[in-house]
A and B are shown apart, each in its own frame.
Chain A
């Protein structure tokens, strides 16, 4: 996967009305899987583009994705959105399991992998075959990072996700834990149990646990970044600025220049 490191200089792109002649017809790069891929699936004939946005809760993922969809559709691209825990197959059961906190680590990990595989095969692949731009709200990296922080074996995880398709671009919205806390509180005055890593017993104080957990997550993301080569986007900036950077980079991907 091409390395798409973020450059610090943000050029100012003025919002322009999209004229009919300005639609970019994407040059699709040939797709590959991280490993052996999926039985019976040929990655060669996937015409669409897979863009992943990663980041913690409160990192601004949803805001960015909403705006990207708007921009992409305005630019003439058909889009599909996917995210964790949205499969027809297991999303309900996964929700139940998380509520009760009754599943052990390997089980939860495999449950998420099932959810992910179901979406790859039933949503992502058909959309890519049809030439859509698929926007993924989180991908295997979040799943791997969560498990790595909880001490699971990295080789085991890499083997598990060898079935995943390599995205055309991955953006990691990197927001400092302190910033994240403020954004979470600004949203609903509460911290999520799992996003605070309360199951890890880092601290009984939720605030402390959140900071510690998110720092561990950040460290793992940065470690994975070296291998998986995703773009780290400074998420501590205003949403407009971040969105401009994302658009610029996605435009390059669509033009086949990345």
Chain B
């Protein structure tokens, strides 16, 4: 597998990964704002957001119709739609693409749900690797409290209730997220994630993110043409 830069794309793809509640979405939003203010051509996309596929996914989730296999496939469909229709053309046009979750989310989550790792990786092998991947490593307690503070109840699939880990959603969520964290840590070395301590202050993390992006990407090459 190769990165977009290695494949000769003009653009660059930056991904953030981490558990729910690790603060990765906040960080990528701040990165996006910073890039936009410098007139960098930037595009942001998040996991599970393709319009057409979304209605099927939300139906599947609401009615609890999804099995590990269909859960995996429907997210792969969503990803493929965004990848082929948006990411690839934008990256060819020299955009910086920011992804809130990328293929590693599937690698970690679907495998925890029992899908064979080779199968999951094989399905996503049409996708190139990010040029830079940040992994926001928060302690389980911090992630859990961030999620629970934000909303009254954990959702069925989010808590991994389909895996019969525990009847208590909070307990189930804890076990499920713990297993995902293990998978992420194994992926981290393999795919050279840049690991950030997500228990730090927002600003401290953002400083590291911006520094690293500026170091790795020659941002001057990705500016909108002056009119």
Contact = CB atoms under 8 A, between A and B. Distances in A.
A40 B53 contact: no
Interface string B57-68: 001100001111
B58 to A, nearest CB: 11
Interface in B46-90: 52-53, 55-56, 59-60, 65-70, 73-74, 76-77, 80-81, 83-85
Which interface class (under 10, 10 to 19, 20 to 34, 35 or more) fits A? 20 to 34
B126 interface: yes
Interface string A92-103: 110011000011
A36 B81 contact: no
16 contacts: A38-B69, A89-B59, A97-B52, A104-B80, A104-B84, A106-B80, A107-B77, A107-B81, A110-B77, A114-B74, A117-B70, A121-B67, A121-B69, A122-B65, A155-B122, A163-B69
A35 interface: yes
B81 A118 contact: no
A242 interface: no
Contacts of A159: 118-119, 122-123
Contacts of B84: 104-107
Contacts of B115: 39
Given A107-B80, A121-B67, 9 more contacts: A38-B67, A90-B56, A93-B56, A104-B81, A105-B84, A107-B81, A113-B73, A156-B125, A162-B119
Contacts of B81: 103-104, 107
Interface string B77-116: 1001101110000000000000000000000000001111
Given A89-B60, A102-B52, A156-B126, A36 B73 contact: no
A117 B69 contact: yes
Contacts of A36: 116, 118-119
A89 B70 contact: yes
Nearest to B81: A107
A159 B56 CA distance: 23
Contacts of A113: 73, 77
Interface in A107-140: 107, 109-111, 113-114, 117-118, 121-122
Interface string A62-94: 000000000000000000000000001110110
Contacts of A90: 56, 74
A29 interface: no
Contact of B73 (A102, A104, A117): A117
Contacts of A198: none
B80 A110 contact: yes
B116 to A, nearest CB: 5
Nearest to B110: A39
Contacts of A102: 52
Residue among B66, B77, B115 with the highest chain A CB neighbour number at 10 A:
B77
Interface string B112-134: 01111011001101100000000
Contacts of A35: 116, 119
Nearest to B114: A39
